[in-house]
Chain A
Amino acid sequence: MKILVCISHVPDTTSKINFTDNDTKFDTNGVNFVINPNDEFGLTRAMWFKEKQGASVHVVNVGGPETEPTLRKALAIGADEAIRIDTPATDGYSVALQLADVVQQGGYDLVIGGRESIDYNGGMVPGMLAKMIGANFVNTCISLEVEGSSATAIREIDGGKETLHTSLPLVIGGQKGLVEESDLRIPNMRGIMQARSKPLHVKQGVEQSPRSQATTFEKPAPRGAVKMVDSVDELIDLLHNEAKVI
């Protein structure tokens, strides 16, 4: 089984979000970039496929040279090869189009992406990719087993979960549940050393024109000060008469 894990390179969850150039660009100053959390769960699940079922695991990112440390980290965790498509990730559609090309060239059976990236939050790349290449697709995937060419997946639905039967080629939008937090791997020294000599292919992107692009950014308006309340009676009164939410 050939697996491709899509890795989005995102500001870590503690980052303060700021913009520069008249609010047209994300301010990377002092920001630490990491593997998108949803992709990290997927990468670890892929490692289990490698160890238990002999799968080969490649990772891919669409983005500039600045994302290479993130790809190296994925190699240090255990991926066999990395691919960077050297083109800016303008919108979900253009990223999916680049990934579709990689999947078709590489003949992958399973593509693991995340439910959403924590920067763009589009929740669209894996679905678009699946549709473009004619593969099956399971979103918000919290469990995946593959036997030969058939797959059993569990996905989270609003208020519960659903078990699905499907087949390869398959694309998933994964999240926590594929593996647990305690299963995540921190690269060790040996992994880091090995990662240095693993292939990281840089490829030119296919031609494209994005279907959408961010023009400006803004931050939420600062909120009014909290009202401290001394009694539960007062709280109920405020919720009823002032906020009008009960």
Chain B
Amino acid sequence: MSVLVYTESENGSFKKTAFEVVSYAKAIATELGTTLTAVSINASNTSQLGVYGADKVLEITNDSLANFDAQGYADAISQAATSQDATVVVLSQTANAKFMAPLVAVNLEAGYVSNVVALPQSITPFKIKHSVYTNKAFSLTQINTPVKIIGLGKNAYGLHETSAAAVSEAFSPSFKQSDTKVISVDKATDKVTIADAEVVVSAGRGLKGPENWGMIEEMATILGAATACSKPVSDMGWRSHGEHVGQTGKPVAATLYIAIGISGAIQHLAGINSSKIKVVINTDPEAPFFKAADYGIVGDAFEIVPQLNEKLKAFKAQNA
């Protein structure tokens, strides 16, 4: 018996979610009285995982896994799990982890629960809480299979340091080259993505037109934030579809979500429920978003945002 965690990396460096899933998986391993093994693919610096509790790291180094390939990755991780006799496998909920988790579940004949928000409530029977109805509710779900797969929602557990050895071991899985090949990747490398961001600055139809997004971009730069928008804004082509947040768009699990000129429709709020602090700037004191906010300013974005940007710049300069 052991716990296995998949630690995702990009260009060799671990993503922050990797440290979060290790922290979480360590807590489960402790509860089960067993050890935690991490598995990494083409990552360097695996000793970092020890800081969050990995006892062992299976390092997979393989050029044919240089591009993400759901099939190949799923096979590699499944074999790592089997080799460790893992009864619990933990993954994050990044786009790639969500892509391959169902494949791992079939490989390991395991029950899989996604969008998990807490440690298991009980081990026997195995019951775990996860969000459903697009964050409008939680379900306590029981997994009946000997092997359990957990997809941990971003920022659901946080980082917890506990030192462990992170003994590195090379691991060479065998897998079939899949039929699916990456032809090209189109990704702005200098921008923070909504999935990775701690802070998200989001704007809606209240901004009147795409030409007014300069101040939103500026705030995002000052705060190291990602930019986002409401659905009509992407529908009208003011911003790209990838920025649309909500029930039919992207979920945001940020520590700070700043909503400017967004009314706060139920479908929009569904996407941001798992963000920690919400700030709303809106001219209409009756805007429904204020009911879901932590802090609110009633006012015109065209006045407030430039002021806020200046003050934030000064604040950042002072606290740098």
Contact = CB atoms under 8 A, between A and B. Distances in A.
Given A13-B248, A131-B103, A214-B140, A227 B295 contact: yes
A235 interface: yes
Interface string A129-149: 011100011111010000000
A123 interface: yes
Given A232-B307, A246-B223, A227 B102 contact: no
A157 B256 contact: no
B293 interface: yes
Interface residues of B, number: 88
Contacts of B183: 152, 163-165
Contacts of B199: 245-246
B159 to A, nearest CB: 15
Interface in A184-241: 209-220, 223-224, 226-230, 232-233, 235-236, 238-240
Given A121-B134, A217-B137, A229-B295, A212 B142 contact: yes
A164 B181 contact: yes
B138 interface: yes
A176 to B, nearest CB: 7
A63 interface: no
Interface residues of A, number: 78
Interface in B10-33: none
Interface string B134-148: 111111111111000
Contact of A239 (B96, B266, B277): B277
A92 interface: yes
A136 B178 contact: yes
Given A156-B95, A214-B139, A226 B290 contact: yes
B144 to A, nearest CB: 6
Interface of A: 11, 13-14, 17, 19, 37-38, 91-93, 96, 118-128, 130-132, 136-140, 142, 152, 155-167, 176-177, 180-181, 209-220, 223-224, 226-230, 232-233, 235-236, 238-240, 243, 245-246
A245 B277 contact: yes
B270 interface: yes
Interface in B79-116: 94-96, 98-103, 105-107, 110-115
B106 A211 contact: no
B2 interface: no
B133 A37 contact: no
A96 B187 CA distance: 32
State the 3 A-B residue pairs at the shortest beta-carbon distance, nearest first.
A127-B102, A160-B187, A159-B193
Interface in B117-162: 127, 131-145
Nearest to A135: B179
Contacts of A17: 133, 136-137
B292 interface: yes
Q: Is the interface of B mostly helix, strand, loop or mixed?
A: mixed
Given A160-B187, A245-B255, A212 B298 contact: no
Nearest to B290: A226
A162 B180 contact: no
Given A124-B114, A162-B182, A215 B127 contact: yes
B187 A245 contact: no
B5 to A, nearest CB: 19
Contacts of A157: 68, 95-96, 185, 187
Given A123-B114, A132-B106, A245 B297 contact: no
Contacts of A92: 102, 112
Given A91-B111, A124-B105, A131-B107, A227 B294 contact: yes
B196 interface: yes
6 contacts: A121-B115, A127-B102, A128-B102, A137-B99, A158-B193, A159-B195
B311 interface: yes
Contacts of A166: 179-181
B317 interface: no
A124 B180 contact: no
A162 B68 CA distance: 10
A226 B248 contact: no
B315 A216 contact: no
Contacts of A130: 103
Given A217-B137, A220-B273, 20 more contacts: A13-B247, A13-B248, A92-B102, A121-B114, A124-B105, A127-B102, A128-B102, A132-B106, A157-B187, A158-B95, A159-B196, A160-B193, A161-B186, A166-B180, A210-B144, A216-B140, A226-B295, A228-B290, A243-B295, A245-B276
Contact of B133 (A118, A132, A159): A118
A159 B267 contact: no
A40 to B, nearest CB: 10
Contacts of B181: 164-166
A139 B111 contact: no
A105 to B, nearest CB: 19
A212 B132 CA distance: 14
Contacts of B115: 121
Contact of B279 (A14, A140, A214, A239): A239
Contacts of B185: 157, 160-163
The listed residue with most A CB atoms (<10 A of its CB), out of B68, B103, B290, is B103
